[in-house]
Amino acid sequence: MKRRSIWSWLWIVIGMLYFILPLYSTFDFSLRAKKGVLSFLAYQRVFEDPNFWSTIKFSLVIAIFTIIVSILLVVPTAYWIRLRLPKLRVLVEFISMLPFVVPAIVLVFGLIRVFSGAPFFLTNTYFGTYVLLVAGYVVLALPFVFRSVDTGLAAIDVQSLTEAAQSLGANWPTIIFKVIFPNLRVAIMSSAFLTLATVIGEYTIASFLVGIKSFGPYMSLIGQNKTYESSSLAIISFMITWAFMGMIQLFNRGKADTSALAGAR
């Protein structure tokens, strides 16, 4: 028993070192911008760079639109499949996994090729390009969003809740926005977080569509030209992601109990 416990701890320590060591090394390196002393000089330079703020703001706005479009698209689709077309679930699940198989480079070239000519001409305007960027990210986020929402739907009795609401006189918008969405809150928040994390750091699609307007290409550019700042940017990017994760956890914890499953157990 004791021997097993030692082995368990050994694997946990190895696992933690695997994740923490590179992060620690990066952090340590980011503090060495000033020769011979540890300082936050690299961080100061990053924060003083107006491009940092503009790119992160741009990526955040794009991420928010991506989340809204993804959820409005996926929640009703996954709900309808569970309710009325359960046989299609396997097919839709397969389609939602395609972004894992199709490389982002192929996706962005496809988007540019199809939407730069007649009848769409989306790449001719900034707005059109942003629409294309959000559309690309919706595809990229599809596996996380669909999986998360589908798992959330599996945890509630979709059919009975829908029929109960119908028998009480509710129409479809009322059912979706007052019954289904609130009961998927945790699933939606998880998928929103994963989408946010994906979009913030995404490089390939952003660099081909909007270049260094976006945070991913900006990080790459800094990485090519400024040694210490690139490490500090990596740490900042981690901190942003963790901050969002913490906020979501906090939000969920406050209301988690209210969505606990009721019904026959």
Partner 1 sequence: MAYLSLSNVSKVFGTTTAVEDFNLEVEKGEFVSFLGPSGCGKTTTLRMIGGFEMPTTGVITLDTEDITYQSPNQRNVGMVFQSYALFPNMTIGQNISFGLQARKTPEKEIKKKVDEMLGLVHLEKHIHKYPYQLSGGQQQRIALARALAINPRVLLLDEPLSALDAKIRVELRLEIRRIQQTMGITTIYVTHDQEEALMLSDRVVVMSQGRMEQIGTPAEIYNYPSTEFVAQFVGQLNILPVTQVNKKDGTCVLAGQQVKFDQSFERSISETPRLAIRPEEIQIGIGEGRNTLKGRVETVMFLGAVVRLRVDLGGVMLSADLFNERNITLPRAGDEVVISFPEHSCWLI
Binding mask 98-137 for partner 1 (x = CB under 8 A): ----------------------------------------
Instruction: Give the burial string for 82-98 (b: 16+ CB within 10 Å, else e).
Output: bbeeeeeeeebeeebee
3 binds partner 1 (CB under 8 A): no
Report the residue number, 45 or 185, with the smaller CB distance to partner 1.
185
**For every residue of 220-251, which 3-state class applies, written as one string?**
HHHHHHCHHHHHHHHHHHHHHHHHHHHHHHHH
Report the residue number, 161 or 248, with the smaller CB distance to partner 1.
161
253 binds partner 1 (CB under 8 A): no
Closest approach, Cβ 140 to partner 1, in A, equals 30
Closest approach, Cβ 146 to partner 1, in A, equals 22
- Interface pick for partner 1 out of 168, 224, 225, 250 (rule CB under 8 A): 168
**Residues 174 to 193: which contact partner 1 by CB under 8 A?**
174, 178-179, 182-183, 185
Residues binding partner 1 (CB under 8 A): 156-157, 160-161, 163-171, 174, 178-179, 182-183, 185, 257-265
